[in-house]
Amino acid sequence: MDMVTFYVEDEDGERQSIEAPGDMGLSLMEILKASDYPVLATCGGMALCATCHVEVVEGKDGLGDASDIELDQIDNLPNPTPTSRLACQIRISDDLDGAVFRLKGESN
Amino acid sequence: MITTDICIIGAGPVGLFAVFEAGLLKMRCHLIDALPQVGGQLSEIYPQKPIYDIPGYPEVKAQELVDNLMDQIKPFNPTFSLGERVDHIAKQTDGSYILTTSDKTKVHAQVIVIAGGLGCFEPRKPVLENLESFEGKGITYMVKNPETFRDKKVILAGGGDSALDWAIFLSNIAERVTLVHRNETFRGAPDSAAKVFDLANNGKIDLILSANLKSLGGNGKLNSVTLENKAKEEIIIDADYLIPLFGLSPKLGPIADWGLSIDKNAIEVDTRDYSTGVDRIYAIGDINTYEGKLKLILCGFHEAAIMMHSAFKHVYPDQKLSFKYTTVNGVNAF
């Protein structure tokens, strides 16, 4: 199985690596939840609640473009950044290898 | 005071179906929900999305399922307090509870059922220093009564449909409306966006694009808001009101303070009857957790049925519960 490694950066700039299978069609949101990161994912991955908001610190080019519905959600947030994405709309693939994310969503 | 047998907190699909299961056992229900309409996430977040795992429905739109549930529970005449959040519960000496909502509605119930999904949908707040101290003193997150803003200086922040709609509406009521948006363009309804640009071109509202909220000014009451534009310049605007409109997000809210056992924002329950550790309080649907829990509507329906049979003893302590099928007994309205 192809494993992809990417990183989650906390507020202090510390990075933790996550390994995930790159060929199972999982989303970044699902992997973050499975890894016990505080991601609510209220809508379950339909790009409708924006609680899985992430900032792409490195590796933006490998992610593809955000869809209109995703951009609509991001646009409505109080704290977006130029590289904001919704983790539920990012598929885990080889292109994600080495990417760095910062979690921006509300964690209740 | 509203008096009922069962008070259900949360009017999503599971809370609604719980009314049916209670009704079969002749128990009356009152439902309270923080949202202004029934249906929970289904109506608020994805009304037009198809759901494929409701038994008997190969495909059903979320809102259609909610509408059908409302039809199904009609014989049992549930009552509702919508747009209200349960802030406080008080145990009575006879074991029953009095619930008090954010609008000071009081409900007396023998049993409380928490079917709160992921919690109350509350407005998303911008990160600003001293934000809380100005809440209710110039900062409000929703327009309940537009007359509040008559002849006032109002700043709206956000780029979605509600920011556009309220900017248009309040332009006729407020002394001055300023709409602040982070981007150059709006992604909301094109008609509303065009109308907003028209109003701005005609000097009816002030439109400040590519700008963010930076800080708040005022002594005890809001009187100015400082923005920062793309060039990092500060703009200070006089304001009586600031209305941030950045959508809703779920919060567990006051439920967290009721002495329930909570793990990762979910209430731990006994899977024999979905009771919590607190007498006469049950939790069903997405808000509960137990080993093997699946957050599925159909699992919430199952939990509702089991849970109501357990609650019967609190509502009718002197009666013996006899299990009956609807095919045999029908649905006896009350």
Count interface pairs A-B at CB distance under 8 A. Answer: 64
Q: Mind giving me the DSSP string for B22-70?
A: HHHTT--EEEEESSSSSSTHHHHT-TT-EE--BTTBSSEEHHHHHHHHH
**Enclosing H/E stretch for B200:** helix B190-201
Per-residue CA distances from B116 to B36, B256, B260, B306, B308 (Å):
14, 12, 14, 17, 16
Tell me which residue in B118, B157, B183 faces A75 most closely, judged by beta carbons: B183
Is the confidence at residue A1, as pLDDT, over 70?
Answer: no
**A104 vs chain B: nearest CA distance in angstroms?**
12
Contact status, residue B217 vs residue B134, Cβ threshold 8 Å: no
Q: Which residues of B touch A68 (CB under 8 A)?
A: 187
pLDDT in tens, A57-103: 999 888 888 988 898 888 888 888 889 999 999 999 888 999 999 99
For residues B181 and A76, give the distance between their C-alpha atoms in angstroms, rounded to a whole number: 10
CA separation for the pair B236, B227 (Å, rounded): 6
Greater pLDDT, B218 or A25: B218
pTM for the full model? Answer: 0.78
Blockwise average pLDDT, block size 10, chain B, 334 residues? 98 98 97 93 88 96 97 98 94 97 96 92 88 94 88 94 93 96 87 95 95 94 94 95 88 89 91 97 97 96 98 96 89 91
- CB nearest to B182's CB, from A40, A50, A80: A80
Q: Which residues of B touch A72 (CB under 8 A)?
A: 160, 187
Report the CATH number of the B2-122+249-329 domain: 3.50.50.60
Question: What is the token pair recorded at B13?
Answer: 């699909």
Find chain B residues with C-beta within 8 A of A80's C-beta: 182
Three-state secondary structure call for residue B139: strand
B114 and B15 in contact (C-beta within 8 Å)?
no
The structural domains of chain B, with segments of one domain joined by +, span: 2-122+249-329, 125-246
Instruction: Kindly state the tokens that stand for B74.
Output: 């009609």
Q: Give me the sign of the Cα torsion angle B137, B138, B142, B147.
A: positive
Rounded-to-integer distance, Cα B58 and Cα B74, Å: 24
Q: How many CA atoms lie within 13 A of B220 on its CB side?
A: 0
CB B53 within 8 A of CB B62: no
Alpha carbon distance B48, B62 (integer Å): 6
Chain A contact for B12, CB < 8 A? Answer: no
Over residues A27-62, the pLDDT tens digits come to 999 999 999 998 988 778 888 888 899 999 999 888
B2-122+249-329 and B125-246 share one fold: yes
> Which of A30, A104, A108 is the best mutation test for B, with the most CBs of B within 10 A?
A108
Q: Which domains does chain A have, with CATH numbers?
A: 3-103 (3.10.20.30)
Q: Give dist(CA A78, CA A88) in Å, integer.
A: 19
Contact B158 A71 (CB under 8 A): no
Residue with tokens 């192809």: A2
pLDDT tier at A108, thresholds 50, 70, 90: very low
Number of residues that make up chain B: 334
Nearest chain A residue to B256 by CA: give it: A108
Element (H, E) at B201: helix B190-201
How far does A94 lie from chain B, in Å, by closest CA? 30
| Residue B64 Cα distances to B16, B21, B331, angstroms | 13, 20, 22
Q: For residue B173, how many C-alpha atoms fall within 13 Å in the half-sphere facing its CB?
A: 13
Determine, for residues A76 and B158 on separate chains, whether the beta-carbon distance falls below 8 Å: yes
CATH number of the domain located at residue range(s) B125-246 in this protein: 3.50.50.60
Burial annotation B142-152 (CB, 10 A radius, 16+ → b, else e)? ebeeeeebeeb
Write down the pLDDT at residue B164.
Answer: 93
CA-CA distance, B86 to B113, in Å (whole number)? Answer: 12
B257, two tokens: 């303070």
Extract the tokens encoding B203: 């000097």
Please report residues of B whose CB lies closer than 8 A to that of A79. Answer: 126-127
DSSP state of B22: H
Q: What is the DSSP string of B279-319?
A: TTEEE-GGGEE-TT----HHHHHHHHHHHHHHHHHHH-TTS
